[in-house]
Amino acid sequence: MAEDKPSDSSPVISSSLDHPKGPYAVPEAGQDSDVLTSTSLSTAAVPDRSELLARARGFLQSPQIVQQDIMAKRSFLEEKGLNDVEIDSLLRELKSQTESYSVLPRPEPFREPSRYRICHSAVDVLKMVGDKTLDIPPVILIRCGLESFGKGKEGDLAKPTTEELFQHLESEVPWLISEEGLKYEQKLWEALSTCPLFIGIPSLPTSNVENFEDQKPTRWTFVAPEPAELSPLFKSMNALSNSFPKCSAPTYTGNPRQHTLQALSEFTGYISTQVYMPYRPPSSVAGFIGTGGTLGPAEDEFRREVRALKGLVLNRPAIRKKDFPVNPSVLRPACATAILGEIRDSRWNDSEYLFANWEALNPENHVPTLSWVIRRQMTFWNALKIEMIGTSMWYYVISRLTPVMNPGTFTFHPIPQYPAFAMSTPPLHPKVVLEQDGYLEPNVPAIVHRYDVFRTWKDTIERSEGGYDKFTKGYLKFGFNVANNGEVVYREWAPNASEANLIGDFNEWSRTSHPLKKDNFGVWEITIRPTSRGVCAIPHDSKVKISLVLPNGSRIERLPAWIQRVTQDLDVSPVYDARFWNPPQSQTYKFKNARPPKPTNVRIYEAHVGISTSEARVGTYKEFTRNILPRIRDLGYNVIQLMAIMEHAYYASFGYQVTSFFAASSRYGSPEDLKELIDTAHGMGLTVLLDIVHSHACKNILDGLNEFDGTDHLYFHEGAKGRHELWDSRLFNYNQHEVLRFLMSNLRFYMEVFQFDGFRFDGVTSMMYKHHGIGAGFSGGYHEYFGESADIEAIVYLMLANDAIHSIYPNAITIAEDVSGMPLLGVPVNKGGVGFDYRLSMAIPDMWIKLLKHKSDDEWDLGNITFTLTNRRHGEKSIAYCESHDQALVGDKTLAFWLMDKEMYTNMSDLTEMTPIIARGLALHKMIRHIDNKIPLTALEQWLDFPREGNQNSFHYARRQWNVVDDQLLRYRYLNNFDAAMNHLAGKTGWLESPQVKDHGEDRSTEFDSPTSTQAYVSLKNEADKVIVYERAGLLFIFNFNPTQSFTDYRVGVEEAGEYRIVLSSDEERFGGFGNVKLDGKYFTTPMEWNGRKNWVQVYIPARTCLVLAK
């Protein structure tokens, strides 16, 4: 299905992107370095720049920009030419940034109730209030805790550290370790960290790194308030952050906000007294902590970032107010302790971290791993929506842990790991991500976070379901399953229903005779015994439904969600009927052929069974098996992509409005017929892919999944989030356990039952972004792929799907249809990618259509053509093609029709004169398909248009006109012959799988030091001559796009010396050419460098001709 592409074609991905220097504003000189305040435009901006500022202000209010995060907005403004002061001022004007830049209000004066003045310990307070612990003012409890802790002690011993204080309070108030108590400890932390009455006394800082280990942790004391002078709350927070000259242990409570606030304050306090540089691989660890002195640009930049951190995070009201949905019993202080405690020297100090009652939460005493610690810390940062701020800190952590990451586990005692996080899936090391693409550095936290979500789901599946193998066999549990003795078990997930009955032909549609029982998870089940004759009680191919009673008493009837056969009788109703599919053994197809080996030189034939016949009707599986498979094999293709197989109510939707996901379309025949088609293809050595649609579903209610149990959120998101406004369809909730079972089992079902070899995932762009690509003009900037717009749930589903498929079927192929250019889409999951084998190069067909529509032949930009054809992400395989069903649908035209237009009706016979338009069309058609080597649309004369009301339900344009290629008097056969010759040569030489290097003149050191003839390498793009030359797999490819000029003795560079001969020429007469190039000629190289190659050879290259030479 076509993605919602931007109007200006697909994105052009740059390989050298400029990244923003920092995500937040920088205070002016003389300002408080810890608080950001507004800066007047009148003083910050030069008067003659007022027009520029006005345009920028309007730019920030545009719908495309207003929803972007502050880092993206800053980047946009920098591109507009604004300086830092102007940018800061404009950003502070935004309503969405008001909280970020505002100074917190002054706190209310503290007035201690008189009844608490006699209390000198938490025990005294409890005696006074009884069991009403929640009513105790946090400040009172902390003051009493500090007083009782210091009783009988002197000096620093009377002042507790943060951990000691909270442990002391928990010993006096055992209720604090309960679930409610952990919530109350959040209030205690807020009081301790914000109230000016509590002062953190640090040890004196030192510039001697060697003595840094000897510094002691911060200790707390109570200072009676001075009524005459009250400090603002932000000053209290600032004092706290500056009170930590080293990374000390965080407070011991279960509140994630506390951990994050103290971790951030400790961290910023620490680096404010040290020379600190952000991590830039492969910097040495020793370079991160200096001894002071003059700051360089990098250090100064980072200190500015620190000031912004204090102003924008520690003073952010949302951090104080919002309750984050995180299990408090899990988020104990071990995480922040491990990250900010002793990591500076990559070791753990056992004596400094004593966590009371931890064993009670972790009876199995699991040992924490560094990966767990890092993952949990990143969860805090992501939950607080401060990923960009946390990026530099994240790299600091990674830099300190790099020497010890590989061992994976530290055995420090007595801090056991929470059992839920003892994952079997290894963590993702950030270095692995950066090895794929160094420009991903600012987005590593987001990539690691989504990988951790993936790990959590995978671990959940392993623990609760027994792993992928069992989880993806949901079709053996849900729906209808028949035992050998004829017993039928039917299960359906419908938690909202209060009553369920199975109805159908077998029980004369009785709504009471076959009730289902519901379990605690909303799954309904019934077992139907065989008849007295020992046969299945439900006849094969009979109609069935499930009848549900809703809580309000109303009754609805639905097609079973896991049904494997549905049929449509348009004479009666467009609504589908569900059928119980259980053919006798004599009618069940048995596979004869093994799957072919996984192809390494993929040449895909895109096919639609329904339009594969030349007659004005719907084609069948059997006809496709008999008539089309031999054609595909003879044309040299090795992969078939079958479209519109999953049942869809509307034929003209091209199969992209799926109603029954487990039912192969009955329009073309039975499920057994489809099995025969795939088995026959395997016997011919053809790999078969299914065009899978998991990006959305048809909104039909009576014969679809929509409102299956009376709610709109069973399989889909609720409300507007669950509806695609352009496709008018429903959107899956990929964060739902049973939805994952349904979709992943759907993949396994087609791989196992029908023996498909893989999938082309449709609509991936719509899945990966919350905006679904609607109105998003992807420019290639990395900020577009991560952050708020990314749909982590959908991306994680794709990761799970790819991981499961490749785990169970290592030779499976998955292809992603994505127009956005998402990084890592075609990278394995364990390297931080989404896991697809290939991605479609969707910018290429758009480029050809634009050239043919808007440019004359002599205006073609060969540099742009070459860039578009070779533009792909390093290490990710892509499928290049010049046209597909998207380009051929009504409203557009096929490539052949763009080239030859109406003359195709009158001048395609050999009995007529070869007109200039037909000669040009044939020549360019061959060259374009050859330089793409491609997904074909053979025998498609004009365009595609399915029968619909708008064309009087005509099949005229919904069929394949095989007669035009079979007729030996028509010139269509020339294109068919060229396709076959090109594919067979590609299969023989394997050029499609040869690695690619960068263009001539570019730095190629990051990919190959010296490209060889086996690697794809473009040596010439001559705009004046309109000639492109490249080498691949030891072959020399020469394309002359010049419309009028042929070249004699044209010199081209070639890497390997020797004797060359022509193995393919588009000018051959059997391909509709003029036969001007002699095929028996020999071409000898001259050992002289030319166009960056070691040798050159001279050839004759006619106008609009492509040649392939081989040694």
Question: Residues with catalytic annotation?
Answer: 762, 817
CA neighbor of 852 nearest in space, from 904, 886, 893: 893
Two tokens, residue 946:
């399915």
SS3 sequence, 380-393?
Answer: HHHHCCCHHHHHHH
Pairing mode, strands 813-816 and 758-761: parallel
Residue 782 to residue 831: CA distance in whole angstroms? 18
Instruction: Tell me which H or E stretch contains 1021.
Output: strand 1017-1022
Any idea what the Cα angle at residue 1087 is, between residues 1082 and 1093, rounded to 5°? 95
**Is residue 735 a contact partner of residue 742, using CB atoms and an 8 Å limit?**
no
Residue 721 to residue 563: CA distance in whole angstroms? 27
SS3 sequence, 971-990?
Answer: CHHHHHHHHHHHHHHHHHHC
Place of tokens 């938490």: 122
Two tokens, residue 785:
């792929």
Q: Residue type at 1006?
A: T
Residue 142 to residue 140: CA distance in whole angstroms? 5
Place of tokens 């400790």: 266
State how far the alpha carbon of 577 is from the alpha carbons of 542, 568, 700, 787, in Å: 10, 6, 13, 44
Any idea what the Cα angle at residue 610 is, between residues 607 and 614, rounded to 5°? 90
Pairing mode, strands 219-222 and 198-201: antiparallel
Within 10 angstroms of residue 1087's Cβ, the number of other Cβ atoms is: 8
Residue 244 to residue 200: CA distance in whole angstroms? 8
Place of tokens 């609760």: 464
Pairing mode, strands 813-816 and 838-840: parallel
Q: Enter the DSSP assignment of 354.
A: -
Instruction: Tell me which H or E stretch contains 741.
Output: helix 737-752
Residue 669 to residue 672: CA distance in whole angstroms? 8
Which residues, 6+ apart, have CB-to-CB distance to 155 below 8 Å?
none
DSSP per residue, 57-93: HHHHTSHHHHTS-HHHHHHHHHHTT--HHHHHHHHHH
